[in-house]
Homo-oligomer: A and B are copies of this chain.
């Protein structure tokens, strides 16, 4: 299970780490912003930063059997998330004026995590379809956790194309692995596709269809 697949070109450990750490920072910004808006105290904001930034990767690592998860093995994940949390806590008003930039960072983090998650799952020998699914989970897991901890329906289930963008980025990685494309360009292409889709979806308010139904009740 833990033997790398034979297409090792994709799985560049330092690149994975750098992608992960940037993703952690931008996702932690998004988590900390949500925490400050809910008037959490400093510690709550920091916990939410760390949880938002690492939950997706932790879920992926638990599911593929890579324990302890990277976020608990390497102190730089924690440091990156704490830094983002502190920055947000101290300069919140500036961050609030940067609301759109934060959403842009979030879209970037989504792409980075979807790509890195897919790469790691392939590296652990998962079936390509499942690796893409785990990549998507890595991307959306942080936001879902953030929303669950704040007791609201995860925005990923309701809003513009979000999970689908993550899945698209993940599929690029799976395709590249299958066709033996070079690792770095594939990762960049996957990240950019996810990022672009997400930005365009926000810009043009793209939505997926909802089911049409007559019954007004919710239970």
Contact = CB atoms under 8 A, between A and B. Distances in A.
Interface of A: 1, 35-45, 47-48, 58, 62-65, 67-69, 72-73, 75, 78, 88-90, 92-93, 96, 124, 126-127, 129-130, 133-134, 144, 148-154, 156-158, 161, 163-164, 207-215, 217-219
Contact of A39 (B47, B73, B210): B210
A157 B47 contact: yes
Given A39-B210, A64-B72, 17 more contacts: A35-B157, A37-B217, A37-B219, A38-B157, A40-B157, A41-B210, A42-B208, A42-B210, A43-B163, A44-B163, A47-B157, A72-B126, A75-B127, A78-B130, A93-B213, A96-B215, A149-B154
Contacts of A62: 62-63, 67
B68 A67 contact: no
Contacts of A144: 149
